[in-house]
Amino acid sequence: MLESHSTVPLQRAVVGMGGLLFAVIAVAASFSSAGPRHLAGDVIMLGIALGALLWALRWWLLPWPSQRESLLMFAAADVMITVACLQDSDRVYGALGAMLLVVTGGYLTFFHSPKVLAAHAAWSLLSVLVLSARMVAGSGDFPLAVVVVLTMVSAVVVTLPSLQFMFWLVRVESLSDPLTRLLNRRGLEFQLSGMFGVRDRPGICVMVADLDQFKGVNDLLGHPAGDRVLIRTAELLSSLAGDDMVVSRTGGEEFALVGYLDPQAALAQAETVRHAVAADPDIPVTVSIGIAAYDGRIGPRPTPDELLRRADTAMYRAKRGGGNQVFVCDRTSPPVRGR
């Protein structure tokens, strides 16, 4: 999903440029008076510079990495930064160079989990403590070591986690429906991209449910009453779906449910939903449901958009048949009608 965004090539170029800059820093440091004073240190710095160049080429020439690859790449970057700082003969410069860990932490803040950021913070603090102790042992400047450590603490323990939390809030708001608090269409697409990547759970289904005659509720009882019906429907669908299915409001009076179900289980679940909606006194309408399922055995694996489109088509066939029924896409049998 991320790879399809128009700004991704630019972002890949920027991250790759970071690798190039790190390579330049490593080479420049090795030739400076603050750099290594022995052959082993020069070799290590050269290896780090080559690794940083490979990093840059990978970002420039290949697609956006998977979560696992991204994590491994940035873990390697953290280690290389710390090792490079340990090679500097000027121990003050080496301790201050650990601030480059804030740069890698910035990426982890937006693209990885709080656990990953916490691990990065632990590594950063350990690195800066070692480098500061090394600096104090060489110069005796304890106050400067305190400044370096507190600066790193303010960046990786205070600032980056706060930024990650604020980013999480913004993302949750952008992916949620403000009325029902379910996922919205964008949130559903984001969730689907992850669910379709789970290869050990081949069977997956999408159910699109649309309330029948909902316009009459708004016309006769007013929009506040219509909102209450939508909220109650969202609560009912969430309770019936449980933890194994994703529930979203994709627009208007339309909802979508996605889970790892085969076609038979999906049909049974849809019938449960249909009967529950019809029996709920707080929902004065019925529901038409379309199902599109893939069992993982026959034919090529569909994309999330294809499965959503098929389920939407099946839902409209159910509505054209009179509503209050379930229709399964690509089935030759007639729709299951409400009783």
Residue 85 and residue 195 share a domain = no
Report whether pLDDT(297) > 90: no
| 3-state secondary structure at position 259 | strand
- Asked whether residue 180 is domain-assigned, the answer is no
Residue 156 and residue 203 share a domain = no
Residue 261 and residue 200 share a domain = yes
Residue 196: C-alpha distances to residues 48, 161, 201, 216, 236 (Å): 37, 29, 9, 37, 25
| Active-site entry in 253, 254, 271, 306 | 253
Rounded-to-integer distance, Cα 330 and Cα 242, Å? 27
Residue 38 and residue 154 share a domain = yes
Rounded-to-integer distance, Cα 95 and Cα 148, Å? 7
Residue 166 and residue 85 share a domain = yes
Tabulate helix, strand, coil % of the chain (nearest 5): 65, 10, 25
> Quick one: tokens of 105?
């932490």
Residue 195 and residue 134 share a domain = no
| Strongest mean pLDDT among 16-25, 30-39, 295-304 | 16-25
Residue 236 and residue 161 share a domain = no
Domain boundary residue among 106, 140, 175? Answer: 175
Rounded-to-integer distance, Cα 97 and Cα 95, Å? 5
The reported pLDDT for the residue numbered 6 is 62
- Asked whether residue 153 is domain-assigned, the answer is yes
Instruction: Kindly write down the DSSP assignment for every residue of 47-114, as one continuous string.
Output: HHHHHHHHHHHHHHHSPPPPHHHHHHHHHHHHHHHHHHHHH-SSHHHHHHHTTHHHHHHHHHHHHS-H
Report whether pLDDT(299) > 90: no
- End-to-end Cα separation, the chain, in angstroms: 41
Residue 225 and residue 195 share a domain = yes
Domain boundary residue among 117, 140, 175? Answer: 175
Gyration radius from the chain CA atoms: 28
> Quick one: tokens of 278?
């019809």
Rounded-to-integer distance, Cα 25 and Cα 45, Å? 10
Inter-residue contact 329 to 307 (CB < 8 Å): no
Residue 318 and residue 224 share a domain = yes
Domain boundary residue among 155, 175, 195? Answer: 175
**Which CATH number does the domain housing residue 259 bear?**
3.30.70.270
Residue 149 and residue 12 share a domain = yes
Residue 298 and residue 235 share a domain = yes
- Asked whether residue 71 is domain-assigned, the answer is yes
Report whether pLDDT(331) > 60: no
Q: 258 pairs with which residues across the strands?
A: 206, 246
- Asked whether residue 37 is domain-assigned, the answer is yes
Residue, of 316 and 244, whose pLDDT is higher: 316
Query: What pTM did the predictor assign?
Result: 0.68
Residue 275 and residue 215 share a domain = yes
How many domains does one find in the chain?
2
The string of pLDDT tens digits covering residues 42-93 is 999 999 999 999 999 999 999 989 889 999 999 999 999 999 999 999 998 8
Inter-residue contact 110 to 67 (CB < 8 Å): no
CB atoms within 10 A of CB 296: 14
Domain interval for residue 34: 2-175
The string of pLDDT tens digits covering residues 184-220 is 988 888 787 777 655 555 578 899 999 999 999 988 8
Report whether pLDDT(336) > 60: no
Angle, CA of 245, 218 and 213, to the nearest 5°: 65
Q: Is 253 among the catalytic positions?
A: yes
Q: 257 pairs with which residues across the strands?
A: 207, 247
Q: Which of 170-179, 210-219, 306-315 has the lowest mean pLDDT?
A: 170-179
- Asked whether residue 46 is domain-assigned, the answer is yes
